[in-house]
Amino acid sequence: DGSSVYQVAGADLYTSASVLAAEQRLVAVAGRRDGRTVDGQAVEMALLEATANGTDLNAGQVALVRQMATSGARLQLAIAPAGAGKTTAMSALAAAWTNGGGTVVGLAPSAAAAAALRDHIGTSS
C-alpha cells in the first residue's frame, strides 16, 4: 500500500491536552456515589407513563432506568449493542429525572446519536 516497512500499523496515537483532561475528569468522578437521586415513586410513575404511551420496556431497560435514577453515581454508562433499546430507556429515565425535579442534558458519542437521543428525550443533546 506504499507505507513504510519501518512504520508499525496502529503505533501512532493522536489526542489533545483537552481530551486527556476531560478523560481525567471522568475518571475522577467515576467512583463517586454522592450524586443526586430520584425518588422511587417518580421512577415508577415514569415507567407507568412510558407503558401508557405505548412504550413497552423490557426487564433490562426497566432495571437500567431504576438503577440510573436511584444510584447516586456521578458517572453511569449504558453500554449495549445498537438497537438494544438504550435510547428508549433514556426516554423513561429523562421523564423520571424531570418528574423528580432534575434537569436533563443528553450526551452521545456522535451527532447522529445525539439527534436521536434529543428526539426521544425531548431536551437538548
Would you say residue 28 lies in a domain? yes
Residue 51's domain comprises 17-121
pLDDT classification of 21: cutoffs 50, 70, 90: very high
Would you say residue 7 lies in a domain? no
Number of domains in the chain: 1
Encode pLDDT of 65-122 as tens digits.
999 999 999 988 888 888 899 989 999 999 999 999 998 888 888 899 889 889 888 8
Would you say residue 4 lies in a domain? no
Would you say residue 10 lies in a domain? no
Would you say residue 11 lies in a domain? no
Rounded CA gap, 15 and 90, in Å?
Answer: 30
Backbone region of residue 31 per phi and psi (left: phi > 0; alpha: psi in -120 to 50; beta: other values)? alpha
Would you say residue 86 lies in a domain? yes
